[in-house]
Structure 1
């Protein structure tokens, strides 16, 4: 295992990877700790910021790898998770801003983002030929 392939990659990929890793581990803490507390709200706000960074940076990964790539070729199948995560962010934040009994509903979109956007899409990042595969397995 070596982080060198990640450090050698464009900055947008580094932002994406490190934000995703931080959001993954922070998400585990959030899911396993008491809800509604000041630490939960504070760490939740940090988690949302990290997920925004993951979502926005994901759009720019392919053009960073292939400069001059036409816009319609920026996207691959994995970018479906970008769209789903953006909707999850919007929905979860909306429930929080509505307050009251609606606040409990934020867990649905946020758990969905954790599972789909971090666990499933994260696992896809380790497929052969991808940078994270090189980080973990070398090559």
Structure 2
């Protein structure tokens, strides 16, 4: 798959994840809508994380073929999503909530901030 197509796909899933994740964080928890949107959010986050594994690092050093430091956040996502699912299925709301906050902050806010660094696509769209 062409890298630009993959990058646009990743951007689309990340933006959708950000919108749904923000909504889920500010709305009432535990409702049927929360549970349904949460499933969509979790799936989008996993797809977003997996897609990054095929995108070469564009900024900073590359290790293990094409991975960069930004890919650490993909690993965080791939760990945190199942952890949150298992927690809520066991009724551990506190662990689920903590995992969801960590996921939102690390995988969407921090990674999103890195997307605007010089040399990255969003930086060229917004600042060049």
Range class of TM-score, shorter chain? 0.7 to 0.9
Instruction: Report the CA distance between 1:9 and its aligned residue.
Output: 5.7
- Structure 2: segments with no counterpart, 5+ residues: none
CA deviation profile, 1:90-112 (whole Å, cap 9, x unmatched): 210111232x3x24421111110
Count of residues in Structure 1 that have an aligned counterpart in Structure 2 = 124
1:91 corresponds to 2:83: yes
TM-score by length of 2: 0.87
Instruction: Report the CA distance between 1:137 and its aligned residue.
Output: 2.1
Per residue, is there more helix in 1 or in 2? 1
Q: Which has the bigger relative contact order, CA under 8 A and spacing at least 6?
A: 1
- Structure 1: segments with no counterpart, 5+ residues: 1-7
Who wins on radius of gyration, i.e. which is larger?
Answer: 1
1:22 corresponds to 2:16: yes
1:47 corresponds to 2:46: no
TM-score by length of 1: 0.81
Contact 1:20–1:51 (Cα < 8 Å) also in 2: yes
| In 1: Cα distance, 2:15 partner to 2:127 partner | 17
